[in-house]
Amino acid sequence: MIDKLFSHQGLDPADIGVISTGIQVKFFYDIDDVLGFSSRNLYSPNDAMMDIQVDVGDTPQSAHTGYWKNETVIRETAQLFYDYAS
């Protein structure tokens, strides 16, 4: 895995269970979250994945713990479940 990332090949989405097209994974991140980052480009192909930047807090602690209460995160996650169940 490290060799793939080092050579800019990207990880195989099938390794995390993504095996078909259409958006299946939504990555949420806040730029104030020291552990949050855009993740879509780590994978290749990545057409089944989406990065969504949200503002869940202004301090490192609130930015890391605020995802569960964020309206965008809740709405986008619910839409993903709805689309996948259809």
What is the distance of C-alpha 6 from the center of its chain?
21
**What pLDDT is attached to residue 75?**
98
| pLDDT at 86 exceeding the cut of 90 | no
Per-residue pLDDT tens over the stretch 58-76? 999 999 999 999 999 999 9
Least Cα distance to 48 among 29, 75, 20, 67 occurs for 20
Domain of residue 45 covers 2-85
Beta bridge partners of 78: none
What is the spatial distance between Cα 78 and Cα 29, in angstroms, rounded to a whole number?
Answer: 17
Q: In the chain, how many domains are there?
A: 1
Q: What is the pLDDT of residues 4-56, one digit of tens each?
A: 889 989 999 998 999 877 899 999 999 999 999 999 999 999 999 999 999 99
The SS3 assignment for 78 reads helix
What is the pLDDT, as a whole number, of residue 19?
A: 87
Instruction: Enter the pTM of the model.
Output: 0.87
